[in-house]
Chain A
Amino acid sequence: MSKDSRMRATINQKLTEMGERDRLKELLRAKLTECGWKDQMKAHCKEVIKEKGLEHVTVEDLVVEITPKGRALVPDSVKKELLHRIRAFLSQHAT
């Protein structure tokens, strides 16, 4: 397991150092906005806020409400694309 965790750490490190992580982040954000995921999530946020009250809503509230739904709502195409890119990176840079 430690080997595993060490490998993970290495990979993560490489991902960050080479800027691939940031590139992937940007790619994901762009794709999610493009496919309308962001607007969907915003609408959901509005409901949550109206529910909780405008004055008292906190970041935690939003995170708790939004994240599970967000994960579920990511379109398959976007998911596939991202997985593909991560795999490519790993195969390129894994030991």
Chain B
Amino acid sequence: MKMEDMPLSGPDNTKLEALVHDIYSELVDDACLGLCFEVHRAVKQGFFFLDETDQESMKEFEIVDQPGVDIFGQVYNQWKNKECECPNCKRLIAASRFAPHLEKCLGMGRNSSRIANRRLASNNNMSKSESDQEDNDDLNDNDWSYGAEKKAKKRKSDKSQNSPRRSKSLKHKNGELGGSIGSEPYKYNYNTGISYESLGPDEVRSLLSTQCGVISEHTKKMCTRSQRCPQHTDEQRRAVRVFLLGPSAPSLPDADTVAESDSFDIPDGQALMSRLQWEDSPDISPTDSASSKASANHSDSRKPKKKKRTSLALNCGGGGGGVGAGGGGGSSLTGGCSSSSSSQSNLSVSSKKKRPKLSAPSISSIYDDLN
């Protein structure tokens, strides 16, 4: 027998019991009233009878459970395989790629100006052959991340491998250099390379004993890959070592540059550095004026050699620059060479050959300091 459930006994307790019941009734009435208010509000706001729509409407919005269709009855990838013709370029584009393509095709939208600016910038900075870029949606995504930029650069250079301009430059190179230095410098030397200009002869020697060391014609940087790096041939490596460390051998893979420097037996390392500039085009006019001083020095020390145009063209700078500034001196030397060549009214061999331009002016200043 539970004491709690029994009504309170005694005369007072009847009153208490009555009180209890009264309180209970009050609570129940409160609940009922609350419900009435709720219902009345729902009725007046119109959502009371919502679950009693007619059968017709119910059928219209029934959940669809067929394969290939979502629950509303719409086909999921209806437009994925369709192709649309672009009104601008008249190409057939996949529907899901149509909007981004239009954005770039019409030159409107946020990313198209970014791409255009980047293209202009790269055109100005890089050599002509590098400037071709296709629109790449992925490039947009990689815009603002550092690591991705490297990737993008690589991709850029990868793409430019196949562009028409690229093949043009390849022709040049092949004609001039005997094709020994292939397209690899484009690809890999942006991120992996050492500038030999800043190295002393000992450092150069130690480097060359462990690394490939072939110098890119564009960046003037030594390849940091192993001795067996697949981008460069053994001949190239030998040529570089000869150039950097010892007297030139009679036959070297880089026919043009080697041939030009062949006759130029300069014992000091300085001269060797100039040889490295086989790619330098003496057409660089700024170098001429900038390194006229250097060229003057060269012409003095190289009188016997002046007979050979080729050597002059290549090596006139050699005498001037120290090994340390060889790289810088190299380009300036080349300019000096060209100036000295021109001064002698000799058409330098290099002038006949078109070579990629180097940033000679800055380098020549280093050379001047050394002198």
The chain A residues found within 8 Å of chain B, CB to CB, are 4, 7-8, 11-12, 15, 21, 24-25, 28-29, 32, 38, 41-42, 45-46, 49, 54, 57-59, 62-63, 66-67, 70-71, 74, 79-80, 82-84, 86-88, 90-91, 94
Q: Cβ of B49 and Cβ of A84 under 8 Å apart?
A: no
- Whether a CB of chain A sits under 8 angstroms from the CB of B98 is no
> B interface, by DSSP: helix, strand, loop or mixed?
helix
- Whether a CB of chain A sits under 8 angstroms from the CB of B120 is no
* Contact flag A59-B27 (CB < 8 Å), given A4-B15, A86-B20: no
* Contact flag A94-B16 (CB < 8 Å), given A57-B43, A88-B4: yes
**In the assembly, what is the distance between CA of A54 and CA of B49, in Å?**
10
**In the assembly, what is the distance between CA of A46 and CA of B33, in Å?**
16
**In the assembly, what is the distance between CA of A71 and CA of B30, in Å?**
11
The residues in B between 16 and 47 inclusive whose CB is less than 8 angstroms from any CB of A are 16, 19-25, 27-37, 39-40, 43
**Which of A66, A71, A83 counts the most chain B CB atoms within 10 A?**
A83
Show 18 A/B contacts (Cβ-Cβ < 8 Å), sorted by A: A11-B19, A25-B30, A28-B27, A29-B31, A32-B31, A41-B32, A45-B39, A63-B32, A66-B32, A67-B33, A70-B31, A71-B29, A82-B27, A83-B20, A83-B24, A84-B5, A90-B16, A90-B19
- Whether a CB of chain A sits under 8 angstroms from the CB of B48 is yes
Chain B: residues with Cβ within 8 Å of the partner, total of 29
Contact partners of A24 in chain B: CB under 8 A: 27
Q: Report B84 CB to chain A, min CB distance, Å.
A: 52
Q: Cβ of B39 and Cβ of A86 under 8 Å apart?
A: no
Q: Cβ of B4 and Cβ of A71 under 8 Å apart?
A: no
* Contact flag A87-B31 (CB < 8 Å), given A57-B40, A58-B40, A63-B36: no
**In the assembly, what is the distance between CA of A82 and CA of B26, in Å?**
12
Q: Cβ of B35 and Cβ of A74 under 8 Å apart?
A: no
- Neighbour of A70 across the interface among B4, B23, B32, B43, CB < 8 A: B32
- Whether a CB of chain A sits under 8 angstroms from the CB of B105 is no
Contact partners of B40 in chain A: CB under 8 A: 57-59, 62
> A interface, by DSSP: helix, strand, loop or mixed?
helix
Q: Cβ of B25 and Cβ of A71 under 8 Å apart?
A: yes
Q: Cβ of B29 and Cβ of A87 under 8 Å apart?
A: no
Contact partners of A63 in chain B: CB under 8 A: 32-33, 36
Contact partners of A62 in chain B: CB under 8 A: 36, 39-40
- Leading 8 A-B pairs by shortest Cβ distance: A70-B32, A62-B36, A45-B39, A86-B20, A67-B32, A59-B40, A63-B36, A86-B23
Contact partners of B71 in chain A: CB under 8 A: none
* Contact flag A49-B43 (CB < 8 Å), given A38-B35, A79-B24, A83-B24: yes
Contact partners of A59 in chain B: CB under 8 A: 36-37, 40
Q: Cβ of A25 and Cβ of B4 under 8 Å apart?
A: no
Q: Report B50 CB to chain A, min CB distance, Å.
A: 12
**In the assembly, what is the distance between CA of A87 and CA of B28, in Å?**
16
**In the assembly, what is the distance between CA of A59 and CA of B37, in Å?**
7
- Neighbour of B34 across the interface among A29, A45, A49, CB < 8 A: A29
Contact partners of B48 in chain A: CB under 8 A: 46, 49
**In the assembly, what is the distance between CA of A94 and CA of B29, in Å?**
24
Contact partners of A49 in chain B: CB under 8 A: 39, 43, 48
**In the assembly, what is the distance between CA of A58 and CA of B40, in Å?**
7
- Whether a CB of chain A sits under 8 angstroms from the CB of B8 is yes
**In the assembly, what is the distance between CA of A19 and CA of B7, in Å?**
24
Contact partners of A25 in chain B: CB under 8 A: 27, 30-31
**In the assembly, what is the distance between CA of A79 and CA of B25, in Å?**
10
* Contact flag A15-B36 (CB < 8 Å), given A4-B15, A70-B28: no
**In the assembly, what is the distance between CA of A8 and CA of B21, in Å?**
12
Q: Cβ of B4 and Cβ of A41 under 8 Å apart?
A: no
Contact partners of B8 in chain A: CB under 8 A: 87, 90-91
Nearest residue in A to B20 (C-beta to C-beta)? Answer: A86
Q: Cβ of A82 and Cβ of B34 under 8 Å apart?
A: no
**In the assembly, what is the distance between CA of A79 and CA of B48, in Å?**
29
Nearest residue in B to A48 (C-beta to C-beta)? Answer: B39
Q: Cβ of A15 and Cβ of B23 under 8 Å apart?
A: yes
Contact partners of B25 in chain A: CB under 8 A: 71
Contact partners of B35 in chain A: CB under 8 A: 38, 41-42, 45, 66, 70
**In the assembly, what is the distance between CA of A12 and CA of B20, in Å?**
10
Q: Cβ of A46 and Cβ of B24 under 8 Å apart?
A: no
Q: Report A94 CB to chain B, min CB distance, Å.
A: 7
